Amino acid sequence: MQTFKQSTRPFNSEDSYPCPVCRTGQISTLPLMDALACNFCQHIFTASEERQILKMADREPPVTWHWNGKRWIGAHLEGVEFGWPYLAAALGLIFLPPSLLGMSAYYFPPVPGSRLSWFPAAWTGLTFLSHLGIVLWLVIEFYQFPIATYFRAWWRRMHRF
């Protein structure tokens, strides 16, 4: 049985590589500049061939990726460390308000059979979904995920065939 090994190549800024942001386009050097750009999502990158890293230059703090010879790995923000306080605050924002509403609806239930007896459960669910949406929006804004670019790439892939 013969096994095939994918070839690995060191990062060279003169070659083209898959974009680590949109995962659809190719990054290559910009003419007359020491930078690279994606032909799909238009992000600009700076590279270090010695350290085999790529840094997104058009965002602050910059996101960095490391080339392992086959693909880009990691998406780390320089100088930003998230710990348990941020996770606890996010979970508290998601679960505390809906649980307070749910407990108040449990201890003070509406009159059974009334027209709006469904309202406390619906309001509790809507509160949970809206607070979850707030936390997801904050994460997306902080990491600046290119959601529109993903949908555009998905649309192109679906209509290619």
Q: Are residues 61 and 100 in the same domain?
A: no
Q: What is the pLDDT of residues 75-90, one digit of tens each?
A: 666 666 777 898 999 9
Q: Which residue has the higher pLDDT, 70 or 136?
A: 136
Question: Distance between CA atoms of 107 and 52, rounded to whole angstroms?
Answer: 60
Q: Judge whether 3 lies within some domain.
A: no
Residues 71, 92 within the same domain: no
Is residue 112 situated within a structural domain? yes
Buried b (16+ CB within 10 A) or exposed e, 93-129: ebeeebeebbeeeeeeeeeeeeeeeeebeeebeebbe
**Tally of domains in the chain:** 2
Helices (H), 14-83: none
Q: Where is the domain boundary, 60, 77, 94? A: 77
Picking from 77, 94, 123, the residue at the C-terminal end of a domain is 77
Instruction: Tell me, yes or no, if the pTM score tops 0.85.
Output: no
Domain region containing 100: 84-145
Q: What's the pLDDT tens digit per position in 64-77? A: 888 888 888 876 66
Look at residue 4 and tell me if it is in a domain. Answer: no
